[in-house]
């Protein structure tokens, strides 16, 4: 099941043949920063993942495109890194997953493991940790332009912060919010809704009183709508007629001028029976008479339209008067009913409910804007570090790295103590973010074994998560532990570990999700925790997977 979760997320790993034979796909639902996503991995295809979000669907058929999308969920500016061939490379999910997923094959033997064919970045382990905790890369590609790009990104974020601060200040000023007002408003909303629900019978009685009026009002409003449509159609016809009328009057003026010009020209003949302009005279005269007849007809039509529009206007006035009178009758009937006083109370409650819901919506908007503001502040912190690290002629990010090393060292020490680790003389991280335990770099060949090695691995992953959250890094907030029985701890130590994880989660609400695969678990769970137990009876035992029918 744990491998299925990671496969659905896009991890490159081998699934059992039976799973590939009987399962069509692995599917997982994600929620990140309010975004709800469904990722489906087609197990029959070599590489095919489909992402569904709010009705839209995108399919990725290669690892690079999917990597760009997935890393975009964790950061707005994924780093451009350098591979072992000194070429440009990106972070793929498969090399980031081992930093927060512990598989049962290799994960419990060392703090970060990837197969040789997946270890292609320069200082890959360090680059992954740097990315998760918000440090700039150790080997950025094209470092010569990194400083300018980092400065431009920082300036853009500074502008976004100022804009976001203005939005929040305006909301707070316009709405005049009271600290801790949301619970009171939620309680009042629930109370009003309950009062309205309790008064449902009264509302039904009021509706029965007004049904006749409502039907008559509906018919009158439909009649008024028909008259409005007719009035609009007549108005359009009159506008068209006016346009044609203007054109005809223009033609009439031209023809009149032509006739007058013909009369003047005829005087050149000096004879009354001159036939020189006879053809033009007849043509202009006939056209002028025809136009005058047309204009006369148009004026008659215009008069008819004016009278029709006046009639429609009068009919509309009468219908509107009837609607006003009917509404007054309806109001009087409601006012005169035994439920009148209750109706006024319900109306007041309904208005108050609208106001309360509007205020809650504004409070939710303010919370969203403040969360966006906090994310911008976290991003600015990372970008300030990036600018410092990329600045030419200086020591790259020494202060930020030193601070991160100190936080990681303190955190892993505390986690090892929480887990009841015995016989160890301290742990710390060096400049390359390697973990040292008892003065020796922790690896698959060091002397720790059994539950001590398990405790170190648990402490390492918890420390990376805790420091990433404290620094506003790019960690998704997930820890997934595939822990078979032979790797389980004493129950008291495991409970201490989970209790401290709960404390971290309380400091960063909505940011953490921890998943354990364990047998014979006796932990006392709290509100919000979930246990997923096997539900399929197969071969005499319970299994997580089974036939669909």
In this predicted model, what pLDDT tens digit does every residue of 57-114 receive, in sequence order?
A: 999 999 999 999 999 888 888 888 989 988 889 899 999 999 999 988 888 889 998 9
Residues 407 and 282 in one domain: no
- Per the CB < 8 A criterion, the answer to whether 26 and 40 are in contact is yes
- From 290, 317, 338, the end of a domain falls on 338
Contact between 60 and 69 (Cβ < 8 Å): yes
CATH number (domain holding residue 230): 1.10.287
Verify that 322 and 407 share a domain, yes or no. Answer: no
pTM score: 0.57
State residue 273's pLDDT score.
58
CA 407 vs CA 118, 281, 342, 384: distances in Å? 29, 107, 64, 19
318-333: average pLDDT: 84
Same domain? 106 vs 223: no
Q: What is the pLDDT of residue 276?
A: 47
Angle between helices 450-471 and 398-418 (to 10 degrees): 140
Cα dist from 374 to 164, 199, 301, 370, 371, whole Å: 10, 44, 70, 6, 5
40 pairs with which residues across the strands? 27, 50
User: Between 20 and 29, where is the model more confident?
Assistant: 29
Indicate if 407 and 331 belong to the same structural domain: no
- Contact status, residue 26 vs residue 45, Cβ threshold 8 Å: no
Section 425-442 average pLDDT: 92
Distance (Å, whole) CA 158 – CA 186 = 35
Residue 316 sits at the vertex; the CA angle it makes with 312 and 320, to the nearest 5 degrees, is 175
Mean pLDDT (whole number) for 450-475: 93
Rounded average pLDDT over 243-257? 65
Say if CB 150 and CB 387 are below 8 A apart.
Answer: yes
Tokens representing residue 174 in the block: 């316009």
Cα–Cα distance, 280 to 286 (Å, whole number) = 10
Domain that holds residue 228: 198-338
Q: Are residues 416 and 524 in the same domain?
A: yes
Helix (H, G, I), strand (E, B) or coil at 283: helix
Residue 472: how many CB atoms within 10 A of its CB? 17
- Among 207-216, 236-245, 271-280, 301-310, the minimum mean pLDDT is found in 271-280
Same domain, residue pair 109 and 221 = no
Q: Determine the distance from the C-alpha atom of residue 201 to the mean position of all C-alpha atoms in its chain, rounded to a whole number.
A: 41
Q: Could you say which of 320, 338, 356 is where a domain stops?
A: 338
Q: Per the structure, how many domains does the chain have?
A: 2
Contact 3, 28 (CB under 8 A): no
Res 500 pLDDT > 90: yes
Q: What is the DSSP letter of 488?
A: P
Alpha-carbon gap, residue 42 to 23, rounded angstroms: 9
The mean pLDDT value for 312-340 works out to: 79
pLDDT of 178 reads 64
297 is a domain residue: yes
Across 104-113, 180-189, 421-430, least confident range: 180-189
pLDDT band at 282 (very low <50, low <70, confident <90, very high): low
* Residue 116 placed within a domain: yes
Task: Answer yes or no: do 549 and 401 share one domain.
Answer: yes
pLDDT, position 394: 40
On whether both 318 and 420 belong to a single domain, the answer is no
Look at residue 329 in the predicted model and tell me its pLDDT: 79
DSSP 83: B
Q: At what angle do helices 450-471 and 491-507 cross, to 10 degrees?
A: 10
Residue 82 or 518, more confident: 82
Q: What is the pLDDT of residue 127?
A: 94
Task: Tell me the pLDDT band of 395, cut-offs 50, 70 and 90.
Answer: very low
Considering 338, 364, 381, which residue would you say is the last residue of a domain?
338
- 290 phi and psi angles, rounded to 5 deg: -65, -40
HSE of 497, CA atoms in CB hemisphere, 13 A: 29
**Are 229 and 309 in the same domain?**
yes
Same domain, 219 and 306: yes
The whole-number average pLDDT for the span 124-136 is 93
* pLDDT for the residue 203: 59
* pLDDT at position 485 over 60: no
CA distance 234 to 523: 80
What is the full DSSP assignment across 118-148? Answer: G--BTTHHHHHHHHHHTPPPSSBTTGGGHHH
Q: Quick one: DSSP state of residue 484? A: -
**Does some domain include residue 235?**
yes
263 CB-side CA count, 13 A: 7
Please tell me which of 52-56, 250-254, 462-466 the model is most confident about, judged by mean pLDDT: 462-466
The whole-angstrom separation of Cα 342 and Cα 337 is: 10
The token pair at 276 is 């020189």
Residue partners of 378: CB distance under 8 A and separation at least 6: 134, 472
For residues 237-274, b (16+ Cβ closer than 10 Å) or e, as one string? ebeeeeeebeeeeeebeebeebeeebeeebeeeeeeee
Q: Are residues 334 and 479 in the same domain?
A: no
Residue 523 CA to residue 232 CA, distance in Å, equals: 75
Inform me whether the pLDDT recorded for 240 exceeds 70.
yes
Q: Residues 241-265: what's their mean pLDDT?
A: 63
pLDDT value for 250: 63
28 has pLDDT over 90: yes
Q: Is residue 386 part of a domain?
A: no
Q: Tell me whether residue 463 is in a domain.
A: yes
Query: How confident is the model over 266-273, as a mean pLDDT?
Result: 56
Burial of 56 (0-12, 13-18, 19+ CB in 10 A): exposed
- Establish if 37 belongs to a structural domain: no
Position with higher pLDDT, 257 vs 486: 257
User: How many Cβ atoms from other residues are within 10 Å of residue 58's Cβ?
Assistant: 12
Q: Is there a single domain that holds both residue 115 and residue 229?
A: no
Residue 496 lies in a domain: yes
Output the CA torsion sign for 478, 484, 485, 487. Answer: negative
Query: For residue 200, what pLDDT is reported?
Result: 62
Q: How large is the angle between the packed helices 398-418 and 491-507, nearest 10 degrees? A: 140
* pLDDT higher than 80, residue 226: yes
Angle value at C-alpha 189, between 201 and 54, nearest 5 degrees? 105
490 occurs within a structural domain: yes
pLDDT confidence of 407, banded at 50, 70, 90?
A: very high
* Residues contacting 140, CB < 8 A, separation 6+: 79, 80, 81, 82, 146, 390
Q: What pLDDT is attached to residue 335? A: 66
User: Considering the chain, what is the average pLDDT of its residues?
Assistant: 81
């Amino acid at each position: 099941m744990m491998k299925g979760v990671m496969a659905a997320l896009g991890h490159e790993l081998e699934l059992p043949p039976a799973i590939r034979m009987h399962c069509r796909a692995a599917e997982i639902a994600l929620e990140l920063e309010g975004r709800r996503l469904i990722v489906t991995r087609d197990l029959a295809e070599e590489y095919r993942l489909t992402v569904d979000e709010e009705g839209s669907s995108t399919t990725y058929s290669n690892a690079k495109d999917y990597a760009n999308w997935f890393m975009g969920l964790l950061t707005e500016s994924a780093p451009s890194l350098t591979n072992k061939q000194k070429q440009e490379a990106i972070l793929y999910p498969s090399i980031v997953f081992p930093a927060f997923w512990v598989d049962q094959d290799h994960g419990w033997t060392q703090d970060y493991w990837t197969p040789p064919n997946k270890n292609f970045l320069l200082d890959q382990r360090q680059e992954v940790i740097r990315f998760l905790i918000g440090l700039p890369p150790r080997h950025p590609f094209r470092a010569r332009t990194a400083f300018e790009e980092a400065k431009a990104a920082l300036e853009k974020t500074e502008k976004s912060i100022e804009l976001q601060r203005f939005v929040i200040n305006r909301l707070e000023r316009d709405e005049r919010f009271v600290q801790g007002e949301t619970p009171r408003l939620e309680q009042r909303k629930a109370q009003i809704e309950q009062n309205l629900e309790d008064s449902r019978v009264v509302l039904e009685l009021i509706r029965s009183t007004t049904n006749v009026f409502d039907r008559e009002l509906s018919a009158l409003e439909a009649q008024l709508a028909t008259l409005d449509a007719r009035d609009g159609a007549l108005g359009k016809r009159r506008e068209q007629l006016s346009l044609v009328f203007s054109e005809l009057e223009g033609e009439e003026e031209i023809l009149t001028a032509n006739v007058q010009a013909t009369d003047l020209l005829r005087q050149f003949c000096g004879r009354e029976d001159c036939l020189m302009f006879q053809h033009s005279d007849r043509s202009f005269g006939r056209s002028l008479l025809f136009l005058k007849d047309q204009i006369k007809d148009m004026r008659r039509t215009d008069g008819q339209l004016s009278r029709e529009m006046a009639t429609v206007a009068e009919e509309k006035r009468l219908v509107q008067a009837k609607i006003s009178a009917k509404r007054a009758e309806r109001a009087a009937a409601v006012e005169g009913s035994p439920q009148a006083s209750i109706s006024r109370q319900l109306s007041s409650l309904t208005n108050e409910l609208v106001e309360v819901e509007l205020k809650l919506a504004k409070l939710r908007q303010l919370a969203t804007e403040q969360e966006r503001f906090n994310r911008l502040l976290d991003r600015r912190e990372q970008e300030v570090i990036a600018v410092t690290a990329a600045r030419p002629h200086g020591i790259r990010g020494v202060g930020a790295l030193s601070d991160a090393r100190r936080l990681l060292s303190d955190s892993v020490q505390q986690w090892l103590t929480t887990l009841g680790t015995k016989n160890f003389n301290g742990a710390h991280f060096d400049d390359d973010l390697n973990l040292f335990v008892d003065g020796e770099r922790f690896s698959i060949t060091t002397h720790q074994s059994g539950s001590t090695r398990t405790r170190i691995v648990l402490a390492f992953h918890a420390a990376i998560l805790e420091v990433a959250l404290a620094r506003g890094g790019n960690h998704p907030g997930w820890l997934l532990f595939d822990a078979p029985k032979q790797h389980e701890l004493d129950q008291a130590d495991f409970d201490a570990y989970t209790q401290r994880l709960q404390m971290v989660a309380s400091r960063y609400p909505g940011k953490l999700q921890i998943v354990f695969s364990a047998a014979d678990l006796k932990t006392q769970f709290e509100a919000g925790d979930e246990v997923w137990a096997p539900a399929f009876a197969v071969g005499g035992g319970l299994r997580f997977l089974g036939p669909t029918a």
